[in-house]
């Protein structure tokens, strides 16, 4: 894949702590970095919990084809037929266990993305992971196979994780901001991300990761509830409900812009400096 020279270990860059990019009261916060720390919703800082036996959710093996990287896009504005938030639905999802959550995701018809999907793609990985990675949404391969990041971008992601000694089966849980494929791989709209957020929120609550990594702008929007550019957000420690959040480039962007792979590696080293995946 031509990655080897770019994914060598080197020291992480200095934490760049910046002010909150959104008004007070907003969910996204930027706070000083704490090495290897986990911050609980009450604000208590502790070291990451010991790893439990990983439970890896995988669909039946099937041939993997490569997905061509989608073109660079800004988040699309919400369409006229917006999906409106349903507090009762969110409250119900907040009480689901893993099995109930995945059933609910697979049966979901809360937004227009259900109309064109082949199947919903809940997530994959270690349910006791210290790192949770959040992508944008399934592409064609993921829609067909039911697992996130199985195309070309996924191979790059696996290489990046491998350079840190991690695999998607161990220490990492991978989810997407939206669980159904946006038609033609378009960027998910704001109301689609909002409609899917209770699922992501419940996944975060169940995994209880020590660190969240937003892969690309829609993921950052989902986790931080703010539209930020990746260039501006990189190298900073944000928080979502007490959990540190690091923002980096989406692997599909890196396939189109290989000159930025080094920056993504810096971001992962920065993340490792905040919360060690071990
Ligand atoms: N891109 C994403 O954001 N998620 C996937 O699952 C696949 C490609």
Q: What is the pLDDT of residues 188-211, one digit of tens each?
A: 999 999 999 999 999 999 999 999
**pLDDT for the residue numbered 11:** 38
Residue labelled with tokens 């990675």: 133
Report the number of distinct structural domains present in the chain. 1
Give the pLDDT confidence of 96-144 residue by residue, as tens digits: 999 999 999 999 999 999 999 999 999 999 999 999 999 999 999 999 9
Residue 228 lies inside a defined structural domain of this protein: yes
Tell if the pTM clears 0.85, that is, is over it: no
Q: How far apart are CA 109 and CA 57, in angstroms?
A: 22
For residue 149, the CA-to-ligand 1 centroid distance in Å is 5
Atom of ligand 1 nearest to the CA of 121: 6
| CA distances from residue 47 to 37, 83, 130, 246 in whole angstroms, order as listed | 5, 39, 10, 18
Note whether residue 25 is domain-resident: no
Please check whether residue 250 lies inside any domain of the structure: yes
Q: For residue 224, what is the domain's CATH number? A: 3.40.470.10
Closest C-alpha to ligand 1, atom 6: 148
Query: Residue 157 domain-assigned?
Result: yes
Domain assignment present for residue 124? The answer is yes
- 182 in any annotated domain: yes
Give 214 Cα–ligand 1 centroid separation in angstroms. 12
Residues 180 and 114: beta-carbon distance below 8 Å: yes
Residue to mutate (ligand 1; options 122, 135, 158; most atoms within 8 A of CB)? 135
Ligand 1 neighbours, Cβ below 6 Å, are: 135-139, 142, 148-149, 153, 176, 252
CA 137 to centroid of ligand 1, rounded, Å: 5
Domain that holds residue 110: 87-274
**6 falls within a domain:** no
């Amino acid at each position: 894949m031509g990655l080897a020279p770019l994914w060598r270990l080197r020291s992480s860059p200095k934490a760049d702590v910046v002010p909150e990019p959104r008004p007070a009261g907003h969910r996204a916060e930027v706070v000083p970095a704490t090495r290897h720390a986990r911050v609980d919703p009450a604000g208590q800082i502790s070291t990451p919990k010991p790893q439990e036996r990983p439970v890896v959710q995988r669909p039946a093996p099937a041939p993997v084809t490569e997905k061509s990287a989608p073109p660079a896009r800004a988040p699309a504005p919400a369409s006229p037929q917006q999906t409106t938030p349903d507090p009762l639905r969110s409250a119900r999802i907040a009480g689901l266990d893993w099995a109930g959550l995945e059933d609910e995701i697979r049966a979901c018809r809360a937004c227009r993305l259900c109309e064109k999907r082949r199947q919903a793609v809940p997530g994959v990985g270690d349910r006791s992971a210290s790192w949770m990675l959040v992508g944008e949404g399934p592409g064609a391969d993921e829609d067909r196979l039911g697992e996130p990041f199985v195309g070309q971008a996924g191979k790059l992601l696996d290489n990046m994780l491998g350079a840190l000694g991690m695999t998607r089966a161990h220490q990492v849980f991978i989810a997407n901001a939206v669980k159904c494929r946006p038609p033609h791989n378009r960027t998910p709209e704001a109301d689609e991300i909002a409609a899917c957020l209770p699922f992501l929120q419940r996944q975060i609550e169940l995994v209880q990761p020590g660190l969240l990594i937003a892969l690309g702008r829609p993921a950052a929007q989902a986790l931080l509830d703010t539209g930020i550019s990746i260039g501006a957000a990189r190298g900073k420690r944000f928080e979502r409900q007490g959990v540190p959040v690091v923002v980096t480039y989406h692997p599909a962007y890196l396939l189109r812009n290989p000159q930025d792979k080094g920056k993504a590696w810096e971001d992962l080293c920065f993340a490792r400096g905040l919360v060690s995946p071990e």
